Amino acid sequence: METVSVKASVSLVGEAEDLQEKLTSLEKKTIELEQSMRYAGSLQQSVLPNEQLFRNVFEDAFVLFKPKDIVSGDFYWIANYDNAVYFAVADCTGHGIPGALLNIAGNTILRQIIRTEGVEDPAKIIELLDEELTALFNDNRTNGQTRDGMDIVLCKFNLTALTGSCCTAGRPLIMIRDEQLYEIPRSSSCVGYSDEVEKVFETIEFGLEKGDRFYLFTDGYTDQFGGDNVKKFNRKRFRNMLKALDEYEFDKQKKLLELSFTDWKGQLEQIDDVCVVGIEI
């Protein structure tokens, strides 16, 4: 009996040591993964424009950027070309690493289309972005098709001539002028994979006036669950809040938007990346 008991004890010790070794290996891999994610996050931050670039171009501006994970599927973008400024906010498929890869690809392709190819019309830029991203993720596949894509609103403003235009490929554009809120609705056509037989991207043109404020945003803010009844913040509440905040300068608007999001979310998990960009003419 003693021999059996000793053998059982030795076996249990061996199993415990094996389990501890596996746990140690798992902890090491977890740390390495987190370090890789943080490095990827720092690379992504280096690609995204500094908020000050928006302030240098416009009368005032702010960027509220809150990734769900260390890296984000949302991105914001700005570039000057000829006499116009181009800027965008996009929501890529998913979040985390997959969204970040699409994020960086979209950011790079946009710059190439405008600065290298010299395309200036927002709808044409989005059309080319759609073609490039779809080809990038599918041309080398031997079977199937990826469903990667993005919702994006792209604007082109000439601040000297006070003319503006935009293409809303899945994301809307909000303007507040003389205390009135106007919305250019999102189109049904988005960038990347789609079941649509034919996509339609349209350039919408409008005049600009001093003091106009524009807001570009992804759905991470409006889709966040919270509040007393645990429901979505929703678009209507978001529009009403922007209108109510119009009396404040952008620094305070940004702080109040962030505070409102945090209060609404409460102890619940953030469900998606959040990006809101505001600019003033």
Distance CA 108, CA 126 (A): 13
What are the extents of the domains in the chain? 1-47, 51-280
CATH class assigned to 51-280? alpha beta
Q: Which of 46-55, 113-122, 138-147 has the lowest mean pLDDT?
A: 138-147
Reference 235, options 167, 162, 183, 178; nearest CA is 183
Dump pLDDT digits (tens) for 145-197: 556 788 999 999 999 999 999 999 999 999 999 999 999 999 988 898 766 66
Res 134: pLDDT: 82
Dump pLDDT digits (tens) for 67-76: 988 778 899 9
DSSP codes, 20-81: HHHHHHHHHHHHHHHHHHHHHHHHHHHHSPPHHHHHHHSSEEEEEEE-SSSS-SEEEEEEEE
* For residues 272-279, average pLDDT: 96
Res 9: pLDDT: 62
Res 70: pLDDT: 78
Q: pTM for this structure?
A: 0.84
Give me the chain's average pLDDT, please: 86
Q: Which of 12-21, 80-89, 162-171, 209-218 has the lowest mean pLDDT?
A: 12-21
Residue 130 tokens read as 């759609």
